[in-house]
């Protein structure tokens, strides 16, 4: 109940960060590694039944910003380029999709030239033309795409489109030539992430006939293997095969297996799980209730799939507000929290690992260390309440009121309750403020709301230390009084900032040296303790007994269109 | 009163209520004997001695893939975790007692506020009529027409996000006062309307007319003539409202917008229990039973009150 | 009669208007709900936010915005959610209403049958053992938190026993009547029972009290003196008079339930009705949806109480409006 | 009706006792009541409220719906024992052969049905008339009881009638099945004086035309004087005095009756002081073993601790130990005082 709505939002976070700063990987992208086995006809057909507690809003691929639908868009829409449809790390690679090849990049990174594939048809039977590409790019602004102002404004003419979307032309920004079937993007400045930004569903190419406003509940034609047949936010949506689809690149848009893909909304997670257990459905979108994990991992082990996510669950502390403007207070909490407790609230050691650093394990620059620990080992051993209490007294912040803001889904609230009792045990007067994730995420960012400490998550999308360290803890990411100030701790340290810039600069030339510095940055940050890092979670998928060919993309998670129900 | 004492069911109910109330109110004095842990502090990594063995309060699953962690079930030892632990490793039995405190406190005090305000408003409206009546009735209409739970929930959502800071009134977010005020205000019309009706009909009656005619002061008439006649109704209403409010409180807490952590009420415990419904159903079921028991007793008592105080019941003889 | 209706209508409008204003103000008193920022999306740039603010007329003064919202809700009927962008409110409610209606109407049938029978039997056997028994059950039913009952029912029917006793029971959820009447009833069976339990209890108790009073009335003595059968006296005289007060209760209850008071049952059984819709909207402080559902709910309650007044007049000649 | 019934009493009550088992012990509402009601006779039962007069009548028709009541004795209606009949059997008697009129016309009718409907209901309960027939009969009845424009009034609701009119409707209902016996329980108490007179006239008039016997229960000697042929004076559930109306009113034997008569404002004697009975009625819970009236009696004697039996001659009896001489003496003083005032 309470949680479901917000859990979907957690999905939203996933995707939103999934696109925060793509890059490096894209450049290295070259040959499609996946789909080597080839299409296995005998498994084609049938209907895949997916369950989600609630709908995720508009179906418009250029507006919707939730993992829940981005997962589906993979099979329904294509951009000029897209993320490779394979399992494993290669799923971060960008490959040509509607474009015949990766673009020719000239004018030191400011001009991208694509050649559009010929003869590809939309699900409404119309052929994809360069004009569709142009109109789709203009449409990004007309429907006021969430990131129009932060990503696509890099296109020449984008700025104008932001101020006057209705009359958006992107003149000189997107130049198409029907004769040569080419599309040229001119950027105001080089942008390493531009291709990634074209590869996400926002970059989908839609018919030029698509309405120049948010299409809401009405499905738009696409080029993918499937098309949306119907959508009702209260009951569910149906995807069927796109009659005009022919495989042009299995790596970009493979042929799907099921004839139909249904997603049904409106039941509780508990009953969703029950339904899959009873073979009434094939997959649950929402995170599994921890209450059911035991039952699942014993009775339905074969139907569970667990994948490592390089992500953090952490407690950002407001470094500009008492008591956590006091370093000792922040360190005290780092000592006091028992990360194993948080882990077991999340579902146990097998589903999450305690962490003491900002960078997840196995990350470039990651150095195994644990500054605030019982004893001196570099791996997490447990809390040290004595030290914690001592620090609180030393900080002179004992007895202060502390408000902890968490989202009101079961897991977050459980962890929140635990942190609450820790705060009280080390001498603060703490209260819990559960909020719908929908509000909480912006609420904790805005300094106006005077949030002292909160619980939140950060999911990576491509392996680069800057994605964590710079995005979350550099001065440039702190915007007081703004709902979008992702540096939630409001932490700003000039020397560390300098270090980060140095590391980033170095990355272009010497990755290893850069990583070394990133590691030091991580250490330096933890000395300042703007966060309490809790653990690195894993993703569990629970699929029906009859389902085969489960494949997991690091980018958009399970491929629904590749599931076998025959 | 004698009549009430003769009503065996009502007396039994009263007994049950007294028992529950004392059990809950005295919790602070003996709960630590039952729960060695503070029932408000998480005890996730803790262990207890259970017939000689040391066991974890939260036990990681060992079968199958080994996902999931389950709190310890009922030990049936009063020494500790009599009814087992919740997902925070807290002693459910001890929490039941403490939760009962808030539930009863909220139920009772909101009933007091509700009935008091309703009585004043309703009587005033019925007695003075005219503008007073019009305004009061409209307010009743509005509260009435505002879907109860929607009103309660919207108020809660707001107030629980930022507390009340109105003029000199200042209530901390998470304070029990918020649910109390919300619940009280939501049900005012339910009590106020009937009272208004009674007063209206009273006004037609000779003795009131006489009193008015004899030029007695409004205050005097209200106190000497009206009050004695509405008092029984109010008395009858009270226990029912307490029961009613307890149920509402639990509903709100269950939706996560009533009592806020670290406070606990039977409603919040049910909510905690939901997460364990499949592995440790007792956590969710026990507080429910407590509510049923208490509310039921209050209802029986209310019936007893009605039989005893509602003059109607007396007048009607066997013929 | 006409004047009466007009008066009724006028006050109804006043009430609805006030409620809409209340809801509106309540939600602008809430922090963290800058609609523009939320419509624009998470990492939206200030420019985009501003553009949305203008596009949605959110830069206008509150009263204007209120009027705009009312215009979109009632006249244009294209008010859209702040959270599920492009999700129109009115269709959402229209889609949810049948669910709530199915839930409520089914429950109504059950609780009327059970409640009225219970009340009659109890009153007819006053002083015999069956009377206190029924009253006890009534009190039990009234004292059970509906949502808790629902959860326990789910636990019983969906968990261990699902493989054995309740194998025939589908997973909780909603199937439209038009799609498959059988499934529809099967999915709603336990929600019906859960919702009906409380009201069956209330009605049995109220009706019994009314009947017991009625049976002490002079006119019942007269009826006996007329040599009528006890059965006829109970049904045609006592019950007929008791029904008057029951009816008003009934009207208001049904109004409230259709208006969304079945929220808890819907939440527990995952029925996508108006209650659940509202609850989710409140969760996300999705003002347009809340406004829509609350107005919808209030409308039904106001309507119900108006209908009750009329029916009351029809049932009780003493209050005929001339 | 056969001739035989003419001389045999319509209703004959023998040693009727009604006892309620209460928490405070047995409550004797009626104690050894016996009387007859001849054909076309009007019997008045008089006594203060709580003297058990109503209970007596209700109990014999099974209208006392109290589970813990004990009714003993014998009640013969037209020679048929009706005490202890099943409710179903009594139903045919009630409203059929025995009509009833109640004290408060305001509450005596079901508020939600038209008066016509209610009369029709009773008629059809006891005869196989069609609705239409019953309805026309109802209209005719309403006319007889003097309700103007019965054709339209038949479709009015009780609350649309004035008190007096409503009582007329009740009477019409009671007569609807041509009852042999009409039991009127304080038929005029709730009405204002002028209406009272009209109602009483109506009753006597109807009694003529219908030829049914009437038992009229009242606490008002005036009413007795107006309509009754014979009188039963009740005190504390016991008969105090029984006799022809003339005798009882002119030459009352029992001190209690004296009191009652004294309590009647007499129009024929000018400016006569109102004599009220000193003391309060004895609680039915502790009726003395001896003379029930003893505690309030000015002429109480030692022997009054024994319960007096009904004594006297030519159908005029009373339960009092006073000797005729003593009575004469006391009476004369009373009349002297009365005359002195003139």
pLDDT digits (tens, 9 = 90+) for C269-298: 888 888 888 888 877 778 888 888 888 888
D96-146 pLDDT, tens per residue? Answer: 889 999 888 888 888 889 999 999 999 999 988 999 999 999 999 999 888
A371-423 pLDDT, tens per residue? Answer: 999 988 999 999 999 999 999 999 999 999 999 999 887 888 889 999 999 99
Cβ contact C242:C215 at 8 Å: no
Which of D88, D95, D107 has the CB atom closest to C226's CB atom? D95
**Which residue in A355, A336, A350, A488 sits closest to A418, CA to CA?**
A336
Instruction: Report d(CA C156, CA B277) in Å as an integer.
Output: 10
Cβ contact D145:D171 at 8 Å: yes
Architecture of domain A311-539: Roll (3.10)
CA torsion A4-A539-A526-A406 (nearest 10°) is 10
H helices present in B217-280, as ranges: 218-221, 227-254, 266-274
A496 close to B (CB below 8 A): no
Which of C19, C26, C143 has the CB atom closest to B296's CB atom? C143
**Which residue in C49, C236, C36, C205 sits closest to C131, CA to CA?**
C205
Contact at CB, C284 and A436, closer than 8 angstroms: yes
H helices present in A38-115, as ranges: 67-73
CA distance C17 to chain A (A): 28
Which of C32, C86, C277 has the CB atom closest to A442's CB atom? C32
Average pLDDT value for chain A: 86
What angle, rounded to 10 degrees, do the helices at C181-215 and C130-143 form? 130
A407 close to C (CB below 8 A): no
**Stretch 78-97 of chain B: residues touching chain D, C-beta under 8 Å:** none
Instruction: Report d(CA B97, CA D159) in Å as an integer.
Output: 57
Contact at CB, B68 and A345, closer than 8 angstroms: no
Return the beta strands (E) in D148-237 as ranges. 181-185, 213-218, 230-235
Average pLDDT value for chain C: 83
Closest Cα in chain A to B61: A294
Stretch D221-243: mean pLDDT, rounded?
87
3-class SS of residue A25:
helix
Instruction: Report d(CA A241, CA B36) in Å as an integer.
Output: 62
- Contacts with D151 (C-beta within 8 Å, 6 or more apart), sequence order: D139
- Comparing B2-6, B113-117, B204-208, D310-314, which segment has the lowest mean pLDDT? B2-6
**Which residue in B255, A179, A67 sits closest to C278, CA to CA?**
B255
Instruction: Report d(CA C224, CA A293) in Å as an integer.
Output: 68
Give the side-chain half-sphere CA count within 13 A for B211.
Answer: 17
Look up residue B35 and give its two tokens.
């729960």
Contact at CB, C267 and B284, closer than 8 angstroms: no
Which chain C residues have a beta carbon less than 8 Å from that of D99? Answer: 225
CA distance D110 to chain C (A): 5
D274-305 pLDDT, tens per residue? Answer: 456 667 777 777 777 878 887 777 777 888 88
Question: Phi and psi for D161 in degrees, rounded to 5?
Answer: -105, 155
CATH 3.40.190.10 in chain A is located at 62-214
Residue from A439, A480, A485, A486 to probe the interface with C (highest C Cβ count within 10 Å): A439
Q: Which helix (H) or strand (E) element contains residue C227?
A: none
Average pLDDT value for chain D: 82
Contact at CB, B276 and A340, closer than 8 angstroms: no
Closest Cα in chain B to C299: B145
Contact at CB, B318 and D54, closer than 8 angstroms: no
CA distance C185 to chain B (A): 26
Instruction: Report d(CA D73, CA D84) in Å as an integer.
Output: 10
Contact at CB, A55 and C84, closer than 8 angstroms: yes
Tell me if there are at least 3 CB pairs under 8 Å linking chains D and A: no
Cβ contact A450:A438 at 8 Å: no
Which of A270, A301, A435 has the CB atom closest to B64's CB atom? A301
Instruction: Report d(CA A468, CA A464) in Å as an integer.
Output: 8
Distances (CA, A) of A204 to A122, A136, A210, A314: 12, 7, 12, 34
**Which residue in D53, D63, D47, D48 sits closest to D16, CA to CA?**
D53
CATH 3.10.105.10 in chain A is located at 311-539
H helices present in chain B, as ranges: 2-6, 8-25, 27-34, 92-128, 130-145, 148-162, 177-204, 206-213, 218-221, 227-254, 266-274, 281-309, 311-315
D55 close to B (CB below 8 A): yes
pLDDT range class, residue B36, cuts 50, 70, 90: low
Contact at CB, C293 and B150, closer than 8 angstroms: yes
**Which residue in B230, B175, B173, B157 sits closest to B199, CA to CA?**
B230
Assign domain A62-214 to its CATH superfamily: Periplasmic binding protein-like II (3.40.190.10)
Look up residue C27 and give its two tokens.
């939600």
With tokens 């022919």, the residue in question is A246
Q: What is the topology classification, in CATH, of domain B103-261?
A: MetI-like fold (1.10.3720)
The pLDDT value recorded for residue B167 is 58
Stretch A479-485: mean pLDDT, rounded?
76
Architecture of domain C90-321: Orthogonal Bundle (1.10)
3-class SS of residue A308:
strand
Average pLDDT value for chain B: 82
Distances (CA, A) of A285 to A47, A352, B68, C270: 17, 19, 19, 16
Cβ contact A49:A281 at 8 Å: yes
Instruction: Report d(CA A134, CA A137) in Å as an integer.
Output: 5
Q: Which helix (H) or strand (E) element contains residue A177?
A: strand A174-177
Distances (CA, A) of C199 to B186, B191, C182, C205: 20, 19, 25, 10
pLDDT at A13 over 60: no
Look up residue D106 and give its two tokens.
């305001």
Instruction: Report d(CA B149, CA C100) in Å as an integer.
Output: 15
Give the side-chain half-sphere CA count within 13 A for D313.
Answer: 1
What was the ipTM of the complex prediction? 0.77
Q: Where are the domains of chain B?
A: 103-261
Which of B42, B69, B274 has the CB atom closest to A347's CB atom? B69
Q: Which residues pair with D41 in a beta bridge?
A: none
3-class SS of residue C245:
helix
Neighbours of C139 (CB within 10 A): 25
The pLDDT value recorded for residue B251 is 87
Chains touching A (at least 3 CB pairs under 8 A) are B, C
**Which residue in A277, A276, A268 sits closest to C265, CA to CA?**
A268
Instruction: Report d(CA A63, CA A61) in Å as an integer.
Output: 5
- Comparing A6-20, A330-344, A448-462, C219-233, which segment has the lowest mean pLDDT? A6-20
Look up residue D5 and give its two tokens.
């019934």
The pLDDT value recorded for residue A497 is 93
Q: DSSP secondary structure string, A508-554? A: HH-HHHHHHHHHHHHHHHHHH--EEEEEEEEEEEEB-TT-B---EET
D67 close to C (CB below 8 A): yes
Which of C144, C283, C298 has the CB atom closest to B146's CB atom? C298
Q: How many CB pairs under 8 A join B and C?
A: 139
The pLDDT value recorded for residue A246 is 93
If one compares D261 and A307, the residue with the highest pLDDT of the two is A307
What angle, rounded to 10 degrees, do the helices at A410-425 and A2-18 form? 90
The pLDDT value recorded for residue A122 is 96
pLDDT range class, residue A30, cuts 50, 70, 90: very low
Contact at CB, D112 and C222, closer than 8 angstroms: no
Contact at CB, C278 and B150, closer than 8 angstroms: yes
Contact at CB, C86 and A217, closer than 8 angstroms: yes
Closest Cα in chain D to C222: D108
Instruction: Report d(CA A268, CA A286) in Å as an integer.
Output: 9
Instruction: Report d(CA C59, CA C51) in Å as an integer.
Output: 10
pLDDT range class, residue D263, cuts 50, 70, 90: low
CA distance A172 to chain B (A): 48
Percent of chain A exceeding pLDDT 90 equals 56
Which chain D residues have a beta carbon less than 8 Å from that of B318? Answer: 20, 64-66, 69
Which of C84, C172, C285 has the CB atom closest to A57's CB atom? C84
- Contacts with A49 (C-beta within 8 Å, 6 or more apart), sequence order: A262, A264, A280, A281, A282, A283, A544
CA Rg value for chain B? 24
Residue from D60, D110, D156, D175 to probe the interface with C (highest C Cβ count within 10 Å): D110
**Which residue in A406, A391, A380 sits closest to A324, CA to CA?**
A391
pLDDT at D72 over 80: yes
Chains touching B (at least 3 CB pairs under 8 A) are A, C, D
Stretch D58-70: mean pLDDT, rounded?
84
Q: Give residue ranges of C with CB < 8 Å to any D CB.
A: 127, 217-219, 221-230, 236-237, 240-241, 244, 315-318
pLDDT at D55 over 80: yes
**Left if phi > 0, otherwise alpha if psi is -120 to 50, otherwise beta: which for C173?**
left
B207-238 pLDDT, tens per residue? Answer: 777 877 787 788 888 888 888 888 888 888 88
Look up residue D71 and give its two tokens.
């009714």
- Comparing A394-398, D9-13, D121-125, D323-327, which segment has the lowest mean pLDDT? D323-327
- Contacts with B211 (C-beta within 8 Å, 6 or more apart), sequence order: B220, B221, B224, B225
Which chain D residues have a beta carbon less than 8 Å from that of C226? Answer: 94-95, 118, 121-122, 125, 173
The pLDDT value recorded for residue C165 is 77
B318 close to D (CB below 8 A): yes
The pLDDT value recorded for residue A17 is 37
pLDDT range class, residue C172, cuts 50, 70, 90: confident
A442 close to B (CB below 8 A): no
Contact at CB, A5 and C32, closer than 8 angstroms: no
Which chain B residues have a beta carbon less than 8 Å from that of A345? Answer: 44, 69, 87
């Amino acid at each position: 109940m309470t949680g479901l709505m917000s859990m979907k939002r957690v999905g939203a976070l996933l995707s939103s960060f999934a696109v925060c700063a793509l890059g490096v990987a894209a450049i290295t992208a070259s040959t499609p590694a996946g789909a080597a086995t080839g299409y296995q006809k005998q498994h084609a057909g049938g209907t895949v039944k997916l369950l989600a507690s609630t709908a995720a809003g508009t179906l418009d691929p250029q507006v919707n910003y939730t993992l829940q639908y981005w997962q589906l868009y993979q099979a329904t829409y294509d951009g000029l380029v897209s993320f490779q449809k394979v399992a494993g790390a290669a799923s971060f690679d960008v490959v040509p999709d509607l474009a015949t090849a990766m673009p020719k990049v000239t004018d030191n990174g400011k001009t991208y030239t694509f050649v559009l594939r010929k003869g590809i048809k939309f699900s409404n039977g119309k052929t994809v033309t360069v004009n569709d590409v142009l109109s789709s790019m203009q449409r990004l602004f007309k429907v006021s795409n969430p990131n129009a102002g932060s990503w696509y404004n890099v296109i020449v003419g984008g700025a104008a489109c932001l101020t006057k979307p209705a009359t958006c032309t992107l003149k000189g920004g997107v130049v198409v030539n029907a004769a040569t079937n080419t599309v040229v993007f001119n950027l105001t400045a080089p942008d390493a992430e531009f291709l990634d930004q074209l590869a996400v569903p926002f970059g989908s190419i839609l018919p030029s006939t698509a309405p120049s406003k948010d299409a809401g509940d009405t499905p738009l034609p696409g080029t993918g293997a499937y098309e949306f047949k119907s959508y009702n936010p209260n009951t569910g949506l149906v995807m069927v095969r796109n009659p005009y689809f022919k495989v042009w690149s299995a790596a970009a848009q493979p042929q799907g297996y099921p004839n139909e893909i249904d997603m049904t909304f409106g039941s509780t997670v508990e009953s969703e799980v029950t339904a899959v257990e009873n073979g009434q459905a094939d997959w649950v979108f929402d995170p599994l209730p921890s209450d059911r994990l035991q039952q699942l991992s014993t009775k339905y082990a074969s139907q569970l799939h667990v994948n490592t996510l390089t992500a953090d669950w952490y407690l950002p502390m407001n470094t500009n507000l008492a008591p956590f403007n006091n370093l000792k207070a922040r360190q005290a909490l780092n000592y006091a929290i028992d990360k194993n407790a948080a882990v077991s609230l999340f579902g146990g050691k097998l589903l999450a690992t305690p962490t003491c650093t900002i960078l997840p394990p196995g990350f470039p620059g990651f150095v195994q260390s644990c500054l605030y620990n019982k004893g001196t080992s570099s791996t997490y051993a447990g809390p040290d309440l004595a030290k914690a209490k001592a620090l609180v007294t030393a900080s002179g912040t004992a007895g202060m009121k502390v408000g902890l803001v968490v989202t009101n889904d079961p897991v977050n609230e459980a962890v929140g309750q635990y942190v609450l009792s820790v705060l009280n045990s080390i001498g603060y007067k703490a209260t819990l403020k559960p909020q719908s994730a929908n509000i909480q995420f912006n609420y904790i960012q805005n300094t106006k709301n005077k949030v002292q400490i909160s619980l939140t998550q950060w999911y990576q999308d491509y392996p680069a230390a800057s994605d964590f360290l710079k995005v979350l803890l550099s001065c440039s990411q702190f915007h007081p009084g703004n709902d979008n100030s992702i540096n939630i701790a409001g932490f700003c340290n000039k020397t560390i900032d300098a270090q980060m810039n140095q590391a980033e600069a170095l990355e272009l030339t010497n990755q290893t040296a850069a990583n070394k510095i990133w590691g030091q940055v991580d250490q330096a940050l933890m000395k300042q303790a703007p966060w309490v890092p809790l653990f690195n979670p894993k993703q569990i998928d629970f699929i029906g007994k009859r389902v085969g060919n489960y494949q997991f993309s690091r980018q958009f998670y399970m491929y629904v269109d590749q599931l076998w129900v025959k | 009163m004698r009549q009430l004492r003769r009503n065996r069911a009502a007396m039994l109910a009263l007994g049950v209520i007294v028992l529950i109330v004392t059990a809950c109110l005295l919790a602070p004095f003996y709960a630590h004997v039952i729960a060695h842990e503070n029932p408000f502090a998480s005890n996730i990594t803790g262990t207890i001695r259970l017939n000689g063995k040391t066991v974890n309060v939260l036990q990681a699953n060992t079968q199958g893939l080994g996902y999931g962690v389950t709190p310890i079930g009922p030990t049936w030892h009063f020494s500790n975790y009599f009814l087992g632990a919740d997902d925070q490793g807290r002693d459910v039995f001890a929490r039941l007692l403490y939760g009962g405190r808030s539930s009863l406190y909220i139920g009772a005090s909101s009933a007091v506020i509700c009935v008091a305000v309703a009585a004043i408003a309703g009587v005033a409206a019925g007695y003075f009529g005219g503008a007073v009546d019009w305004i009061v009735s409209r307010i009743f209409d509005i509260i009435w027409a505002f879907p109860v739970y929607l009103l309660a929930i919207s108020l809660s959502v707001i107030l629980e996000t930022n507390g009340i800071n109105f003029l000199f009134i200042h209530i901390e977010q998470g304070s029990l006062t918020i649910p109390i005020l919300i619940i009280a205000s939501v049900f005012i019309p339910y009590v106020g309307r009937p009272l208004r009706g009674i007063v209206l009909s009273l006004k037609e009656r000779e003795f009131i007319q006489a009193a008015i005619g004899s030029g007695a002061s409004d205050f005097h008439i209200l106190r000497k003539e009206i009050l004695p006649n509405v008092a029984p109704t109010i008395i009858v209403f009270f226990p029912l409202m307490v029961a009613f409010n307890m149920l509402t409180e639990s509903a709100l807490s269950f939706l996560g917008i009533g009592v806020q952590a670290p406070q606990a009420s039977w409603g919040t415990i049910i909510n905690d229990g939901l997460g364990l419904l499949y592995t440790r159903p007792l956590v969710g079921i026990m507080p429910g039973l407590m509510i049923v028991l208490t509310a039921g007793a209050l209802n029986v008592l209310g019936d007893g009150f009605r039989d005893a105080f509602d003059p109607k019941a007396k007048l009607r003889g066997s013929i | 009669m006409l004047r009466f209706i007009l008066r009724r209508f006028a006050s109804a409008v006043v009430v609805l208007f006030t409620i809409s204003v209340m809801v509106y103000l309540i939600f602008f008193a809430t922090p963290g709900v800058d609609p523009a920022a939320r419509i624009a999306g998470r990492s939206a740039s200030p420019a985009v936010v501003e553009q949305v603010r203008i596009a949605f007329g959110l830069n206008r003064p509150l009263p204007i915005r209120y009027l705009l919202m009312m215009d979109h809700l009632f006249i244009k009927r294209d008010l859209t959610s702040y959270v599920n962008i492009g999700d129109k409110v009115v269709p959402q409610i229209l889609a949810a209403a049948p669910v709530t209606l199915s839930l409520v109407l089914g429950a109504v049938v059950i609780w009327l049958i059970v409640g009225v029978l219970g009340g009659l039997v109890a009153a007819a056997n006053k002083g015999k053992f069956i009377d206190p028994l029924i009253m006890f059950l009534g009190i039990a039913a009234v004292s059970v938190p509906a949502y808790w009952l629902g959860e326990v029912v789910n636990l019983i029917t969906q968990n261990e026993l699902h493989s054995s006793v309740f194998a025939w029971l589908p997973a909780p959820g909603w199937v439209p009547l038009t799609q498959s009447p059988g499934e529809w009833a099967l999915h709603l069976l336990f929600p019906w029972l859960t919702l009906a339990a409380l009201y069956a209890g209330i009605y049995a108790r109220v009706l019994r009290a009314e009947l017991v009073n009625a049976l002490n009335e002079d006119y019942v003595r007269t009826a006996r003196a007329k040599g009528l059968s006890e059965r006829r006296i109970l049904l045609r005289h006592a019950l007929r008079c008791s029904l008057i007060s029951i009816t008003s209760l009934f009207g208001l209850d049904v109004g409230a339930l259709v208006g969304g008071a079945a929220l808890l049952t819907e939440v527990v059984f995952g029925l996508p009705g108006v209650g659940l819709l509202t609850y989710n909207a409140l969760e996300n402080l999705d003002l347009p949806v809340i406004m829509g559902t609350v107005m919808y709910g209030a409308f039904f309650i106001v309507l119900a109480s108006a209908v009750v007044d009329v029916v009351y007049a029809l049932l009780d000649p003493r209050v005929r409006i001339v | 009706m056969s001739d035989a019934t003419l001389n045999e009493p319509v209703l004959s009550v023998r040693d009727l006792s009604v006892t309620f088992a209460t928490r405070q012990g047995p409550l004797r509402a009626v104690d050894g009541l016996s009387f007859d009601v001849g054909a076309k006779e009007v019997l008045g039962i008089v006594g203060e409220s709580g003297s058990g007069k109503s209970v007596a009548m209700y109990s014999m028709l099974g209208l006392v719906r109290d589970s813990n009541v004990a009714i003993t004795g014998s009640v013969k209606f037209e020679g048929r024992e009706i005490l202890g009949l099943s409710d179903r059997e009594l139903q045919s008697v009630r409203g059929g052969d025995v009509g009833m009129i109640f004290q408060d016309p305001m509450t005596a009718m079901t508020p939600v049905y038209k008066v016509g409907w209610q009369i029709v209901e009773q008629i059809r309960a006891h005869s196989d008339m069609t609705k239409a027939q019953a309805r026309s009969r109802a209209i005719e009845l309403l006319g007889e009881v003097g309700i103007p424009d019965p054709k339209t009034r038949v479709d009015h609701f009780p609350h649309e009638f004035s008190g007096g009119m409503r009582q007329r409707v009740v009477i019409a209902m009671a007569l609807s099945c041509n009852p042999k016996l009409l039991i009127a329980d304080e038929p005029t108490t709730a009405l204002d004086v002028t209406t009272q007179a009209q109602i009483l006239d109506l009753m006597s008039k109807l009694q003529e035309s219908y030829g049914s016997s009437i038992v009229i229960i009242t606490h008002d000697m005036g009413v007795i004087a107006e309509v009754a042929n014979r009188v039963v004076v009740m005190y504390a559930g016991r008969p105090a005095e029984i006799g022809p109306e003339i005798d009882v009113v002119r030459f009352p034997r029992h001190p209690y009756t004296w009191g009652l008569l004294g309590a009647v404002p007499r129009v024929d004697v000018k400016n006569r002081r109102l004599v009220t009975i000193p003391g309060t009625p004895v609680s039915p819970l502790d009726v003395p073993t001896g003379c029930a009236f003893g505690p309030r009696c000015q002429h109480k004697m030692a022997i009054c601790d024994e319960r007096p039996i009904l004594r006297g001659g030519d159908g005029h009896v009373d339960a009092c130990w006073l000797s005729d001489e003593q009575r004469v003496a006391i009476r004369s003083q009373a009349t002297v005082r009365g005359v002195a005032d003139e």
